[in-house]
Amino acid sequence: MMRLAYFAPTPREIPRLGVYRSGKVIDLVENYKYIYRSQPPHWFFDLGEYLENKYAHRIVEDLISIYEKKPSEEPDLVHDENKIIYYPITSSNQRVFCIALNYLSHVQETGRPKPSKPYIFMKPKTALIGHREPILIPKVSSAADHEIELGVVIGLRGKYITKKDAMEHIAGYTIFNDVSFRDWQMRSSEGLGLDWLHGKGMDKSTPVGPYLVSKEEIEDPYKLRLELRVNREIRQIGTTSEMLFSIEDIIEEISKGITLLPGDLIATGTPSGVGHSSKRYLRDGDIIEAEISGLGVLINTVRQER
Ligand code: MG
């Protein structure tokens, strides 16, 4: 029923939650102040706390319905989507879990064996960036690559979640571009496996957004089309129906001994077409558009660190 953006009206202001409606973002903080004449609750500034608070959703729905009945002329209550600063869909205690090799077409292009169970790694939150923020290629890498993925955001905490209950723990979906540094990821590590830390976790490399689309808006998460373009050229196409391990499988696997928290983000794997298979890596100035049906288009330019 809702698309939540994490944004700031200007670079000087604190990031807060807003509701995206056809090219505009309704500022929940300013609407709350305007309608109730008091300071807004702190969970307007933190997605995890918003998702965990049982009254929050209702309060937001009330604010939106008041706003929509009588849109005010007050300039701060709503912003032009093109003028705001998007932040990644993130929260203070968020973890970022990613699954490797979850589409057969991608498994095949890597030449690796098909996995028999989900392989999960983590990305530091400091790697995340928002819609329209530049993807930073650090000066220590010359093999930056794209991976469009369906991002799942947890709404309800849980441990030892079974497949049957997994969907109840989801708040919604977003677009995730699991930007990877192949020269680091694949470098020789003396029998200790791939370098997932630097291979996936460089600062300000991983776009997520533009917004969190609540799960009620997505009729079937396994019928979503993924498409990634570099400078308008299509590089990756897939559908979520191709996943080897379902979202339910992944949630069950991660939550074994680890509590999933509201705001946690799970990247569910990428289809084929990554640059590594054709040795075409990202370059300064490239424009990356990652699009998933129903979730919008996540656009970022690439910037080489000097
Ligand atoms: Mg990936």
Question: Is the pLDDT reported for residue 138 higher than 90?
Answer: yes
Distance 200 CA to ligand 1 centre (A): 8
Average pLDDT of the segment spanning 45-53: 94
User: Can the peptide bond before residue 210 be classed as cis, meaning omega within 30 degrees of 0?
Assistant: yes
Question: Is the pLDDT reported for residue 1 higher than 70?
Answer: no
Q: How far apart are CA 198 and CA 183, in angstroms?
A: 9
Q: What percent of the chain has pLDDT over 90?
A: 89
The dihedrals phi and psi of 248, each to the nearest 5 degrees, come to -65, -45
Q: How far apart are CA 305 and CA 284, in angstroms?
A: 9
Question: Is the pLDDT reported for residue 5 higher than 80?
Answer: yes
User: Computed from CA positions of residues 262, 201, 129, 286, in that sequence, does the dihedral angle turn out positive or negative?
Assistant: negative
Distance 3 CA to ligand 1 centre (A): 24
Q: What confidence category does residue 68 fall into, taking pLDDT thresholds of 50, 70 and 90?
A: confident
Q: How far apart are CA 159 and CA 256, in angstroms?
A: 7
Q: What confidence category does residue 217 fall into, taking pLDDT thresholds of 50, 70 and 90?
A: very high
The helix/strand/coil state of 118 is coil
Q: What pLDDT is recorded for position 222?
A: 98
Distance 146 CA to ligand 1 centre (A): 9
Distance 176 CA to ligand 1 centre (A): 9
Q: How far apart are CA 225 and CA 292, in angstroms?
A: 5
Distance 212 CA to ligand 1 centre (A): 19
Distance 69 CA to ligand 1 centre (A): 43
* Residue whose C-alpha is closest to residue 160's, from 245, 259, 93: 259
- 31's enclosing H/E stretch is helix 28-36
Question: Is the pLDDT reported for residue 42 higher than 80?
Answer: yes
136 neighbors 305 (Cβ within 8 angstroms) = yes
For residue range 224-265, list pLDDT tens digits in order. Answer: 999 999 999 999 999 999 999 999 999 999 999 999 999 999
Distance 55 CA to ligand 1 centre (A): 35
Q: How far apart are CA 14 and CA 8, in angstroms?
A: 6
Distance 235 CA to ligand 1 centre (A): 15
Distance 81 CA to ligand 1 centre (A): 28
- 75's enclosing H/E stretch is none
pTM of the model: 0.96
Q: What confidence category does residue 75 fall into, taking pLDDT thresholds of 50, 70 and 90?
A: confident
User: Computed from CA positions of residues 228, 3, 269, 204, in that sequence, does the dihedral angle turn out positive or negative?
Assistant: positive
The residue assigned the tokens 């030892």 is 160
Question: Is the pLDDT reported for residue 147 higher than 80?
Answer: yes
